[in-house]
Structure 1
Amino acid sequence: MTLSHDSGGTGRPVLLLHSTVCDRRMWDPQMVALASAGLRALRVDLPGYGDSPVPAQPYNPAEMVIEVLDGVDEFAVVGSSGGGAVALEIAARWPRRVSALALLCSAGPDLDPSPQLREVWAQENALLEAGDVAGATELMVTTWLGPLADDATRAHVRTMQRHAFEVQLAAAEVEELEVPYEVEAVTAPALLVSGAHDLPDFRTVAADLAARLPDATHVPLDWAGHLPSLEDPAALNDLLLPFLTGR
Structure 2
Amino acid sequence: MTLAHDVTGSGPTVVLLHSTVCDRRMWDPQLPTLVNAGYRVVRCDLRGFGQSPLPDRPYNDAQDVTDLMDLLGVEHAALVGASGGGQVALEIAARWPQRVTALVLLCTALSGHKPSAELRAFGQRENALIEAGDIAGATELNVAMWLGPDSDEATQDKVRQMQRHAFDVQLAAVEEVGPITVEADLAAITASSLLVSGRHDLVDFRQIAAQLSDQLADARHLELAWAGHLPSLECPDALNPLLIDFLHETRAAD
TM-score (structure 2 length as normaliser): 0.96
Measured after TM superposition, the shift of residue 233 of structure 1 is 0.3
Name the CA distance, whole Å, in 1 between partners of 2:192 and 2:85: 18
Counterpart for residue 117 of structure 1: 119
- The answer for unaligned runs of 5 or more in structure 1 is none
Counterpart for residue 166 of structure 1: 168
Counterpart for residue 7 of structure 2: 7
Counterpart for residue 227 of structure 1: 230
Name the CA distance, whole Å, in 2 between partners of 1:176 and 1:54: 11
Measured after TM superposition, the shift of residue 35 of structure 1 is 0.2
Name the CA distance, whole Å, in 2 between partners of 1:17 and 1:64: 12
Name the CA distance, whole Å, in 1 between partners of 2:150 and 2:185: 36
- Residue aligned with 1:86, SS: helix
Name the CA distance, whole Å, in 1 between partners of 2:149 and 2:7: 30
Measured after TM superposition, the shift of residue 110 of structure 1 is 3.0
Cα deviations across residues 12-55 of structure 1 (Å, max 9, x unaligned)?
A: 00000000000000000000000000001111100000000111
Name the CA distance, whole Å, in 2 between partners of 1:109 and 1:61: 13
Name the CA distance, whole Å, in 1 between partners of 2:29 and 2:46: 19
Measured after TM superposition, the shift of residue 148 of structure 1 is 1.3
Counterpart for residue 135 of structure 2: 133
1:195 counterpart (186, 198, 205): 198
Measured after TM superposition, the shift of residue 98 of structure 1 is 0.1
2:102 counterpart (86, 97, 100): 100
Counterpart for residue 35 of structure 2: 35
Measured after TM superposition, the shift of residue 232 of structure 1 is 0.2
1:21-60 equivalent positions in 2, closer than 5 A: 21-60=21-60
Name the CA distance, whole Å, in 2 between partners of 1:176 and 1:113: 20
**Moved runs in structure 1, 4+ residues, more than 2 A?**
none
Amino acid in structure 1 at the alignment position of 2:200 = H
Amino acid in structure 2 at the alignment position of 1:118 = R
Name the CA distance, whole Å, in 2 between partners of 1:54 and 1:63: 15
Q: Count the aligned residue pairs.
A: 247
- Percent sequence identity is 60
